[in-house]
Amino acid sequence: MPNVGVWLIGAQGSLASTVVLGARAIARKLAPGGGLVTELPEFALLPLVKLDDLAFGGWDLAPAGLVAHARALASETAAVPESFVTQLEADLAAVEACVRPGFASGGGPANRARGTRAFLPRRESLAVAVERLGDDLDGFRHAERLDSVIVVNVGSTEPPLELTRDHARLEGFRRLIQRDRRERVTPSMAYAYAALERGFPYVNFTPSVGIAVPALQELGQKHHVPFYGSDGKTGETLLKTVLAPMFRCRNLEVLSWEGFNILGGGDGRVLADPRHKRSKVKSKSGVLGATLGYEPHTRVGIEYVPSLGNWKTAWDFIHFEGFLGTKMSVQFIWQGCDSILAAPLVLDLVRLTEFAQRTGEAGPMTHLACFFKDPLGVRVHAFPEQVQMLKDYVARHTKNGRKLRRAR
């Protein structure tokens, strides 16, 4: 089996810390693999990389945070036993020591104060930055003797940026970099560019624009690299895409679907800024119309409640009309530990992306749509149909002995 590097953008955050803690806990047999889609029996025949064979590193705006977040997951959030963190502290500290300075320019006002810290290079042009980021990835690969490195964006949500003609083609995008047009290039784009330019797959787990830029997709295709995004589907939107198909199949007309989310943590703090929040609301808003075939009255509220820490609550009210025009309603309350919901999906995405690259696949990995709120190039949002796309992909690979043998 290959040795695989996982390079996390936002490596000192809650989600990144939980990814590292979880992978190490499972590898060291402290915890079972529950919550990982790739541990389902359907995936047993796919030769996916083992969690023991993953090495971690990444970029962030601060030199520390990973170990502290892992500790908070046990002590403040009570999501995992304290003994996990104690037993894994040396592993976590080793990954924290590998975290390299990221690129902050254009990441939005909610991250500006953090971005000015001494950890980051100052007055660096875009062209110099993408070379430095690419060198980090090559350096990690060589130092850890890795067969491949998968880059996953779990950094703070950026405000949206309107795409222009310069983002349409690779040539134009390269010009933006050479001319240091930093107002047109956000960190998620710079990271995607650096990864794809050096031939490393890129997955965007956040609502930041990243791989949605056509020029970057062209770059991925040019270097024959797999990529995908955007925004992991872990809570309220997951439930929406499960329930909406039911309303459609029972011919129950949804009149209104009002969703109200409260969350704490770093993500909540960043999303409290309306400029950053716009990206999250946008990525959450496409699913109902696409699934129902019409647009009910709908609203997505997101509010920051610092005391909640890593916990998140979503309350949704669905007003619908049935037989003889009778109006009824459904309400649900979803309470989840944000990074515990998301971390296994990040590990699933790493394993499936690495497999795709090893089997010679490239371009958008549309079979991974079920993991995302806003899946690139896929109009299907209904969760059961998206899961079928993944099952069909697995079936194709497990029936095809030639591909399987090549991937081993």
Ligand X SMILES: NC(=O)c1ccc[n+]([C@@H]2O[C@H](COP(=O)([O-])OP(=O)(O)OC[C@H]3O[C@@H](n4cnc5c(N)ncnc54)[C@H](O)[C@@H]3O)[C@@H](O)[C@H]2O)c1
- Assign 3-state DSSP to the chain and report helix, strand, coil percentages, each to 5: 50, 20, 30
Q: What does DSSP say about strands 253-263 and 311-321: parallel, antiparallel, or unpaired?
A: antiparallel
Binding residues with ligand X: total (CB under 6 A): 35
Q: In a 3-state reduction of DSSP, which class is residue 273?
A: coil
Query: Quick one: which segment of 9-17, 38-46, 251-259, 313-321 binds ligand X (CB under 6 A)?
Result: 9-17
Strand arrangement of the beta sheet that strand 99-101 belongs to: 99-101, 54-60, 4-9, 148-153, 202-204, 226-229, 363-364
Q: Give the single-character DSSP code of 31.
A: S
Under rule CB under 6 A, residue 348 binds ligand X: no
Under rule CB under 6 A, residue 309 binds ligand X: no
Is the Cβ of residue 58 or residue 201 nearer to ligand X in the bound state? 58
CB of 325 to ligand X, least distance (A): 38
Of 37-76, binders to ligand X (CB under 6 A) are: 59-62, 65
Under rule CB under 6 A, residue 229 binds ligand X: no
CB of 157 to ligand X, least distance (A): 4
Q: Is 183 exposed, middle or buried (0-12, 13-18, 19+ CB in 10 A)?
A: exposed
Q: What does DSSP say about strands 311-321 and 327-337: parallel, antiparallel, or unpaired?
A: antiparallel
> Could you tell me if residue 196 is left (phi over 0), alpha (psi between -120 and 50 degrees) or otherwise beta?
alpha
Is the Cβ of residue 103 or residue 355 nearer to ligand X in the bound state? 103
CB of 248 to ligand X, least distance (A): 25
Do 335 and 312 contact (CB within 8 A), yes or no?
Answer: yes
Under rule CB under 6 A, residue 104 binds ligand X: yes
Closest listed residue to residue 210, CA positions, set 238, 189, 231, 184 = 189
Site string (153-192) toward ligand X, x via CB under 6 A = -xxxx-----------------------------x-----
Under rule CB under 6 A, residue 357 binds ligand X: no
Q: Which of 12, 261, 291, 298 is in the footprint of ligand X by CB under 6 A?
A: 12
How far is residue 240's CA from residue 242's CA, in Å, rounded to a whole number?
5
Under rule CB under 6 A, residue 150 binds ligand X: no
- Residue 230, preceding peptide bond in cis (omega within 30° of 0): yes
How far is residue 140's CA from residue 5's CA, in Å, rounded to a whole number?
8
Under rule CB under 6 A, residue 342 binds ligand X: yes
Do 57 and 7 contact (CB within 8 A), yes or no?
Answer: yes
Under rule CB under 6 A, residue 354 binds ligand X: no
CB of 229 to ligand X, least distance (A): 10
Under rule CB under 6 A, residue 314 binds ligand X: no
Q: Is 332 exposed, middle or buried (0-12, 13-18, 19+ CB in 10 A)?
A: middle
Under rule CB under 6 A, residue 364 binds ligand X: no
Q: Which of 339, 353, 357, 386 is in the footprint of ligand X by CB under 6 A?
A: 339
Under rule CB under 6 A, residue 264 binds ligand X: no
Is the Cβ of residue 5 or residue 187 nearer to ligand X in the bound state? 187
Under rule CB under 6 A, residue 77 binds ligand X: no
Binding site for ligand X (CB under 6 A): 9-10, 12-15, 59-62, 65, 102-104, 107, 111, 114, 154-157, 187, 205-206, 231-232, 234, 265-267, 270, 338-339, 341-342
